[in-house]
A = this chain, B = another copy of it.
Amino acid sequence: MLQWRSAKGPTRNVGLGAFPRGTETNAVADVVDLMGACMRFERGAEIFAENEPAEFVYKVVSGAVRLSKLMSDGRRQIGAFYLPGDMFGLEADRAHSFAAESICDTRILVVKRSALMAEAERDGEMVRHLWSQTVGHLQRAQSHMLLLGRKNAQERIAAFLLDMAQRLHSAGSVALPMPRQDIADYLGLTIETVSRTLTQFERDGVISMPVSRRIVLRNRAALDKMNDVWSA
């Protein structure tokens, strides 16, 4: 593990799309929908870099985003995946400590943090909502810590598949937007271990994989069982 692998590093996105509209007005979060500009990022584009000032807040419209941090020797940790509907960019106060990159072609609403804060100045509801977003991210980070700390490969993959299935609202079949390497770096495993574990699951009839990016959940109970160890 000496060099960062398939890296023709993330390419800065310059193209800026239209300013589309959402007709939603339901929750407070959707101020982003109203105020945000929609941008397109092609696969592998850098949305923000490590150490970049945290000037914007984002919301995924379509596609997928990874939050990642790279070590000097090529090891990488992915801290989170963001899927359609997810907000991000609030996990930093001053500067970003992770980079964000689009995993595939992705549309993202972008709003200036200062605009959001100005809005929040007048609207107490707004602040609390943004804060609770941050709390949500913290809780995700904590449950990810559990996974990384003491789960074995099978438990990690099971948790990952169930999480993806839920967040992508997929009934029975998940279309993974990310390559195996991203999954590996998210779960703290190697690509080979991810691959072997998936193959194992397939042999055991727990899943099937018509193609590598599509996972059909054939025995959700088995996955739940592997995942439920942390029931508490």
Interface string of A101-129 (1 = CB under 8 A from B): 00000000000000000000100100110
Q: Size range of the interface on A?
A: 35 or more
Q: Return chain B residues, CB-CB under 8 Å to A124.
A: 121, 127
Q: Return chain B residues, CB-CB under 8 Å to A76.
A: 150
Bound: A228/B146 CA distance, A: 24
Q: Return chain B residues, CB-CB under 8 Å to A148.
A: 145, 148-149, 188
Bound: A204/B177 CA distance, A: 46
Bound: A113/B102 CA distance, A: 38
Bound: A140/B209 CA distance, A: 37
- Interface residue from B77, B121, B127, B130 paired with A150 (Cβ < 8 Å): B77
Given contacts A146-B77, A150-B77, A150-B188, contact A231 B135 (CB under 8 A): no
Bound: A136/B138 CA distance, A: 10
Q: Return chain B residues, CB-CB under 8 Å to A97.
A: 139, 142-143
The interface-forming segment of A13-21, A28-36, A66-74 is A66-74
Check A137 for interface membership: any CB of B closer than 8 A: yes
Copy number in the complex reads 2
The SS class assigned to the A binding surface is helix
Closest residue on chain B to residue A75 by CB atoms:
B150
Check A232 for interface membership: any CB of B closer than 8 A: yes
- Considering only residues 164-221 of chain A, those with a C-beta below 8 Å from chain B are 185, 188
Check A144 for interface membership: any CB of B closer than 8 A: yes
Closest residue on chain B to residue A135 by CB atoms:
B93
Given contacts A135-B91, A232-B50, contact A71 B142 (CB under 8 A): no
**A residues lining the B interface (CB < 8 Å):** 50-51, 69-73, 75-77, 79, 90-93, 97-98, 121, 124, 127-128, 130-132, 134-139, 141-146, 148-150, 185, 188, 228-232
CB pairs A–B below 8 angstroms (16 shown) = A50-B232, A69-B230, A71-B229, A71-B230, A76-B150, A91-B135, A91-B138, A91-B142, A127-B131, A137-B138, A138-B141, A141-B142, A141-B145, A145-B145, A148-B149, A150-B188
